[in-house]
Amino acid sequence: MLKENLDLSRLFYPRAIAIVGASPDHNSLGSLPIRFLQRHGFPGKIYPVNPKHKEIMGLACYPSLPEINDEIDLALIGIPRQFVLSALRSCAEKRVPFAILFSAGFAEMGAEGKKAQEELKEFVKKTNVRIVGPNCIGIINTHGRVAASFTSGLEMDFLLPGNIGLITQSGGVGNCVLTRAYDRSIGLSYFISSGNEVDLEIADFLEFFLRDERTQSIALLLEDLKNPKKFLEAAERAFQVGKPIVALKVGRSEKGKQAASSHTGAMGGRDDIYEGFFRQKRICRVYDIDELLEVAHLFASSKIPAGKRVAILTTSGGSGALLADLAADNQLSLPPPATATKEKLNDLVPAVATISNPMDITTQFMNDPEAIGRYLLTFDQDENYDLLIINFTVSSPERTKKVAEKMAALKPSLSKPLVVCWPVGSMAQEAFHCLQKAGLPLFFQPAHCLLAVGKLVRLSQASEKY
């Protein structure tokens, strides 16, 4: 059914989009995609299709697809199941290359739904229309301003371009990742809700990401694999070209499998088989939404460390001890500073601190933001270390912002990866935004931070398993 060298450029960069079943009801599947395309500045043309209306949301509305006097790259279809095949036949007549099926009620809805999904498969075999879905919430291309979705996350003020490609078989969980990423100022390159995958599947989208220069890491929310062999081949190519995959596989338990099956009709296999797949293809497995987002962001935004030797700088002795414990939990080593490092910092270190690792820099930087620069540059030059972690426990808005600005300015001159852990409340929000804008990996939970760093280190050791 699937063709080699599949070109998805007209799916992700459509020049004209038709919304089949368009509606003036602002909260309907036929209205939300139009509103979101307009809201986020889609640069192409939008064609509502519904024989009951002449105009919708200021746009001329057409009785049918064939009556549109323009070439359509993508059709969005959100109509009852019994009308979907007819709409797809209109796509074939109009030579529309791609259709996204928001419509549900297929394999996830028992025998009758499975039969309807088989009919979709037969349709794909006989035509050149490629399908995303059914039972999906669409796609988003942040760089191209293509918000071809009805997900509530698109109520956001603006699309935030980034370098993480997200593929999710669960639209709802995907929306959680999308909105949490927005709140954290973490940009995605693409958001893809693949749904039941009657045609286009995860492996097809992986191949697209491998050729996309903007996508540097790939995040997967996975319920099952339709074609494991094809997926494994794509995953191997991803590893070879240096685009790490982070996967959150749901349905590990029997109840979880049942829930996945009722959701997309997925028939999840034994979890140990998936675990074997992930280890074989160096796919980083994670176990919750925050971990998926944070690890994918770290992979996309950080240099790959040469080894597992970590320097920890912290404003609190207690937090230094905590991070040291967590480093040990994640098989990271904390060697002492070199003699040259001690000599360079001897005049800077307060009387209450010693030059060690973890290094308690106290709250000295609050009165002297330049001190942060000296600490970071000196530890960066220390050949005993492969990666730097700096942990802050202070929250004063004005002073933390100045320190964040200093670190953001220093980032280009650092030869080693720098990761920031700042487990305080929202008082330091401006500092957080400064770091995120500069592309510095920022964590709010020490355990999450060290777990992600451990995975980043193992990414550089291809023979090891995550």
CATH number of 160-301: 3.40.50.261
Both structure tokens of 58: 């200021």
Looking at residue 252, its pLDDT comes to: 79
CA distance 181 to 14: 25
CB 188 within 8 A of CB 142: yes
| Residue 34, amino acid | I
Which residue type sits at 228? Answer: P
303-459: CATH homologous superfamily? Answer: Succinyl-CoA synthetase domains (3.40.50.261)
Query: What is the model's pLDDT at position 5?
Result: 62
CA distances from 382 to 305, 335, 359, 377, 387 (A): 14, 11, 14, 9, 10
Strand 387-391 relative to strand 45-49, pairing: unpaired
Distance CA(185)–CA(162), nearest Å, equals 9
- Cβ atoms of 312 and 320 within 8 Å: the answer is yes
Q: In CATH terms, are 1-136 and 303-459 the same topology?
A: yes
Cis peptide preceding 358, ω within 30 of 0: yes
Q: What is the pLDDT of residue 42?
A: 98
Reported in sequence order, the residue ranges of 315-438 that DSSP labels E, i.e. its strands, are 359-360, 387-391, 418-421
Contact 221, 250 (CB under 8 A): yes
What is the DSSP secondary structure assignment for residue 445, as one 8-state letter?
A: -
Beta strands (DSSP E) in 253-317 are 284-286, 310-314
Three-state secondary structure call for residue 314 = strand
| Structural domain spans, the chain | 1-136, 160-301, 303-459
DSSP letter for 73, please: S
DSSP per-residue codes, 200-260:
S-HHHHHHHHHH-TT--EEEEEES--S-HHHHHHHHHHHHHTT--EEEEE---SHHHHHHH
CATH number of 1-136: 3.40.50.720
> What sign has the CA pseudo-torsion 184, 43, 21, 50?
positive
Helix axes 289-301, 171-183, angle to 10 degrees: 60
Whole-number Å distance between alpha carbons of 420 and 389: 6
- pLDDT at residue 466, rounded to an integer: 42
Antiparallel, parallel or unpaired: β 245-249 and 217-222: parallel
SS3 assignment, position 149: strand
The structure tokens listed for 167 are 């593929």
- Are 219 and 165 a contacting pair, CB within 8 Å? yes
How confident is the chain (466 residues) per 10-residue block, as mean pLDDT? Answer: 71 98 94 98 98 97 97 97 96 98 90 92 96 97 98 97 97 96 93 97 98 97 94 96 96 66 56 93 95 96 94 94 98 97 85 81 74 92 97 88 93 96 91 91 96 94 52
Token code pair at residue 204: 């097809």
Selection from 234, 433, 447 nearest residue 455 by Cα = 447
pTM: 0.92
The rounded radius of gyration (Å) of the Cα atoms in the chain is 25
Q: Quote the CA–CA distance of 230 and 425 in Å, as a whole number.
A: 45
Q: For 328, which DSSP code?
A: H
Q: Tell the residue number behind the tokens 């290359």, with chain if given.
A: 97
Residues with Cβ within 8 Å of residue 446, at least 6 apart in sequence: 319, 322, 323, 326, 391, 421, 423
